[in-house]
Amino acid sequence: MRRSDTSNCLMRASFNRFTLPGFLLALIATVGCGSTLAQLSPKPLFVNVLAGSIGGVFYPLGSALSTILAESELNAKTSVQVTKGTTDNLHLLYKKKGELAFAQGDVLLSAWEGNVEAGFSARYDSLRGIAALHLNIVHILTLDGAGVYSMADLKGKRVSVGPAGSGTELNARGVLRASGLTYGDLRKVEYVPYEIAVDLIKNRKIDAAFQTSGLGLPAIRDLTSAFPVLFIPVGAETVAKLGPPFIATMLPKGSYIGQGQDIPAVGMPNFLVTRADIPDEAVYQIAKALFSSLPRLAQAHRAGASIKLERALDGLPIPVHPGAERYFREVGLLN
């Protein structure tokens, strides 16, 4: 509707309120000016942030992001949802049960490719990337005295690998395979989340556990504050067998109580993901709010301190959303 048409329409409505019954005035306003009035009073966008378990890293970051977006120029009503992690997040996002999702890079790639073994029966080709976030590290922990000092020592042991189909479980399967092991080589496999795995270790019900997360996972911090914990190293040659998006990294000295040295480890980036059908302007505002509020994310969890604008597109295994692309061009990250 042109500007003159808008003015005429509003003038007609103003005039008619003196000459027409109320119900006819309402009809005229609805039929003649509906699109204009909708533009004048846009409905707020609903943004559900798909995070992870409360004891993990995704949830506190997702909760902080939800608050940031609610206070931003996005004009959105926001919420954060507890989920089972990356795989669950991507299923829910693809089914339009949420608008934003936190996702591990390796699982995201599996969803994009439609990797059946990873739990994706079709290509999730509507997924679009917003930004790379913090680095995830595959923690492989055991108690001192359990007889596990290397990947080879896991043979014949009782091991937690995370919930079935979760990002942690897929990582455990891959790291074991790259180390020449399978689940069949283990005495027992437990498919349980972070908090339960820690309890099982405390009670000597398992010998080791895989837990993929950012640094400073509360469940692991709690364990290291009460028990002598060892972290099993994974060398660069093993990581090379996994291939991208995995990278060889270090679990830095002092990340947890009693950890006196750097531990060679497997890492992979996490990403904030959306869908192609989410409006460009909305995703632009999300990217802008995210990178304008990094100190608040760092306060929400120490992993947030490692989110950097200059690394926002590093390793992204899916297409970037046009709204995010517009923001990155605006700030000079893209030409």
- Decide whether 45-134+269-330 matches 136-268 in CATH topology: yes
Helices 86-94 + 167-178 axis angle, to 10? 130
List, in order, residues 6 or more apart from 192 with CB less than 8 Å away.
Answer: 160, 162, 163, 200
Summarised one tens digit per residue, pLDDT across range 35-83 is: 332 333 356 789 999 999 887 889 999 999 999 999 999 989 999 999 9
Q: Residue 40 corresponds to which amino acid?
A: L
Helix (H) or strand (E) holding 194: helix 194-202
Query: Which residue would you say has higher pLDDT here, 271 or 14?
Result: 271
Average pLDDT over residues 134-155: 95
Structure tokens at 303: 């992993």
- Pairwise CA distance, residues 8 & 19, whole Å: 17
Average pLDDT score over the chain: 87
Task: Using DSSP, state whether 179 is helix, strand or coil.
Answer: coil
Flag the least confident range among 94-98, 154-158, 191-195.
Answer: 191-195
Q: What is the pLDDT of residue 40?
A: 36
Q: Which of 302, 276, 229 is nearest to 124 (CA)?
A: 276
- Pairwise CA distance, residues 287 & 277, whole Å: 16
Distances (CA, A) of 262 to 207, 209, 258, 317: 22, 19, 12, 28
Q: Cβ distance 259 to 224 under 8 Å?
A: yes
User: What is the maximum span of the chain, computed from C-alpha positions, in angstroms?
Assistant: 91
Top CATH class of 136-268 equals: alpha beta
Q: Cβ distance 93 to 276 under 8 Å?
A: no
Buried b (16+ CB within 10 A) or exposed e, 276-306: eebeeebbbbbbbbbbebeeebbebbebbbb
Ordered by start, the domain boundaries in the chain are: 45-134+269-330, 136-268
CA 244 to chain centre: 18
User: What pTM was computed for the model?
Assistant: 0.70
Residue 328 banded pLDDT, cuts 50, 70, 90? very high
Summarised one tens digit per residue, pLDDT across range 220-266 is: 988 999 999 999 999 999 999 998 888 899 999 999 999 999 999 99
DSSP string, 53-108: -TTSSHHHHHHHHHHHHHTSTT-EEEEEE--S-HHHHHHHHHTTS-SEEEEEHHHH
Q: Which CATH superfamily is domain 45-134+269-330 in?
A: Periplasmic binding protein-like II (3.40.190.10)
pLDDT above 80: residue 99:
yes
Q: Which of 107, 192, 185, 188 is nearest to 151 (CA)?
A: 185
- Pairwise CA distance, residues 63 & 42, whole Å: 25
